Amino acid sequence: MSVKSTIVSQFEQVATEQERKLARLSDDTKLIECGLDSLSFAIIVARLEDSLGVDPFSAERAVDFPVTFGDFVTLYEGLAK
Amino acid sequence: MPSKPRSLWDSITAAGPPAGSLYGCGGGVALAGLAHASILGGRLEELRGRSVLLAITDQLTAALAIAELDGVARRMVLLTPGLAAEHLPAVIAGAAADARVQDTDRCSPGREIGIGISVDARARLEPHPVRRASTCETEWILLTSGTTGAPKLVQHDLASLTAALADRPPAPEVVWATFYDIRRYGGLQIYLRALHAGSLVLSDPAEPLIGFLARAAAAGVTHISGTPSHWRRVLMSGAAATIAPRYVRLSGEIADQAILDGLKAAYPEATVAHAFASTEAGVAFEVRDGRAGFPATLLDAPGSPVHLRVAEGTLRIRSAGNAHGYLGVDTGSFPRASDDAVDTGDRIEQRADRCYFLGRQGGVINVGGLKVYPEEIEAVINSHPWVRMSRVSARRNPITGAVVVADVVLAEADGTGGRPPSEALERELLHSCRRSLAPYKVPAAIRIVPGLEVSAAGKLARPDA
């Protein structure tokens, strides 16, 4: 599974669990408008660390906080092997 | 003869009528209007001398009710939004509440529970002859969650809650905003500051973040406060530039270097300060140098009104801002250290001239500013017939500071072969957690493990987070 499809399926899974309506995800979907709250993002990041083996936010260097879904995917694609 | 008690109203009108306003989603209310008007429909006097439950959903209504009731009610219980209904009877009994103020048009919590008198309030001032005379030193009760999820009733009064405001010259034209709810300690501090010098923009849980920021900007926000989790959400919103504050404050969780740097980059003109406070210990300090942690010179500083000390690895605070105790049966559990300081339970490590927070002692996990006790979640998981034992721990998280994860040891199969594969088991356990726990308490991940370490004392080993 590609990094992007892993991320998409985590967004869908967490949205279902948190009973939130997920917006259609495209590269320019703003994260804040995708229907998920902070807790949902926290869970997604934790699970992606398990499945992709990386947490881009914990890297030593500072990261720009992603604003769109596309930014979010790029952040992971840059680190996941 | 004892001097006349000084109320919140006395304090904010000491130098003349207050100039500021409180802003909710539906508009603003000028504080000066309270001199001749009320939100309580002419029933303020009925509440004099009573123990009053503030069962109010709307923050602006609550903010105005607090300003009216201090000095009038004998006791004010600030119910936090989202308090589980099952805990309300114990809170009412513990506080000996004999009156309630509730929203007129929203569904107040516990409306069905019988209580002396109920007074409806709405976030609109109506002209009434009001006697703003202070006749009580009102006891303020704040709720914090305990190990079982049942709230503790923390006792404060106006003097302890405003201890950190003393000697602060009033700053003109300050417009505060806060992501916090003002019924929680961090938000209440901002509310009290704003009332004494300026205005305050209140949040609403139903309002999208971008809407709140736009409202704050429209009110001309200069000072704004929230937890690191709130601020990470702002930085991820793409709307951080909506506001241009002079002062950005973080509290309620450990502020790491990444979030401090992120905020400094987003608001280069602003002072980015992180503060430490807790409901029990009060406000300890504010750090403005943009670095995580705090200077070791704050420890044992002679002559400081807030005395900080590290003993047995945790931060102890003694100041006029300390809470007086827990109300009711739980009194013995108040974290009072031997020298009369309050033990915050926050573990500190000193590296060179700087002190850093390591996390909570006793394993309390902080998920986005909300306390989670591992034992409560373990109890839910352990109640499942397939589970032998479990250990809930914190995993660092860039969004909420921490999330909860669980390691689970399964009970021996009973030979009937009825146990589903681990993946289905994990799903089933998550499902049962979701049924009985608040969302932030549900583990982000469950791992089935072969065994868990038990200490020599027979307790589950809890490695330091």
- Six-digit token string for B252: 């309620």
Domains of chain B: which residue ranges? 8-351, 364-448
Give ipTM to 2 decimals. Answer: 0.88
- Predicted confidence band of residue A64 (pLDDT cuts 50, 70, 90): confident
pTM of structure = 0.78
Q: Could you report the per-residue pLDDT of B74-95, keeping only the tens digit for each?
A: 999 999 887 878 889 989 999 9
CATH numbers and ranges of domains, chain A: 3-77 (1.10.1200)
Which residues in chain B have Cβ-Cβ distances shorter than 8 Å to A18? Answer: 439
Q: What is the DSSP string of B296-307?
A: GGGBT-TT-SSE
* Strand ordering across the sheet containing B342-351: B294-295, B354-360, B342-351, B314-318, B307-311
Per-residue confidence (pLDDT) for residue B329, from 0 to 100? 61
Residues B163-182 have pLDDT tens digits of 988 656 666 679 999 999 99
| Per-residue pLDDT, B453 | 76
Output the pLDDT for position B233: 80
CA distance B28 to B123: 9
Interface test with B, best of A28, A33, A38 (most B CBs within 10 A): A38
Q: Are B83 and B56 in contact (CB under 8 A)?
A: no
Please tell me the predicted confidence (pLDDT) of residue A70.
94
Q: Which of A14, A27, A34, A43 to mutate to test the interface with B (most CBs of B within 10 A)?
A: A43
Determine which of B168-177, B183-192, B353-362 has the lowest per-residue pLDDT on average.
B168-177
Of all residues in chain B, the one with the smallest CA distance to A69 is B236
Beta strand ranges found along B172-328 (DSSP E)? 175-178, 199-202, 223-226, 247-250, 271-278, 282-287, 294-295, 307-311, 314-318, 325-326
* A39 vs B262, B368, B396: nearest CB: B368
pLDDT band at B331 (very low <50, low <70, confident <90, very high): low
Q: How many CB pairs under 8 A join A and B?
A: 68
Percent pLDDT > 90 in chain B is: 56
Selecting from B237, B398, B444 the residue whose C-beta is nearest the C-beta of A58 gives B398
Tokens at B125, concatenated: 């001032």
A residues 18-47 closer than 8 Å to B (CB): 18, 30-32, 38-39, 41-43, 45-47
Report the pLDDT value the prediction gives residue B418, as an integer from 0 to 100: 64
Count of C-beta atoms within a 10 Å radius of residue B157:
17
Q: In A, which residues are within 8 Å of B239 by CB distance?
A: 32
* Contact flag A32-B233 (C-beta cutoff 8 Å): yes
Answer whether B252's CB lies under 8 Å from B189's CB: no
- For residue B243, what pLDDT is reported? 97
Chain B's closest residue to A58, CA to CA, is: B398
B271 CB burial (10 A radius; 0-12, 13-18, 19+): middle
C-beta of residue B64 within 8 angstroms of C-beta of residue B202:
no
Among A18, A32, A43, select the one facing B403 at the smallest CB separation. A43
- Give CA–CA dist A78/B39, Å, rounded: 56
**CB of A17 within 8 Å of any CB in chain B?**
yes
Q: In what order do the strands lie in the sheet with B247-250?
A: B27-30, B21-24, B199-202, B175-178, B223-226, B247-250, B271-278, B282-287
Chain A residue with Cα closest to B394? A46
Residue B337's pLDDT band, with cuts at 50, 70 and 90, is: confident
Q: In whole angstroms, give the CA distance from residue B54 to residue B77.
A: 6
Domain covering B364-448 assigned CATH 3.30.1490.20 in the classification: no
Contact present, B40 and B68 (Cβ < 8 Å)? yes
Structural fold of domain B8-351: Rossmann fold (3.40.50)
**Residue B330 — very low, low, confident or very high, per pLDDT cuts 50/70/90?**
low
Q: Tens of pLDDT along B371-411?
A: 888 878 887 888 888 888 888 999 988 889 899 999 998 87
What tokens does B205 get? 């849980």
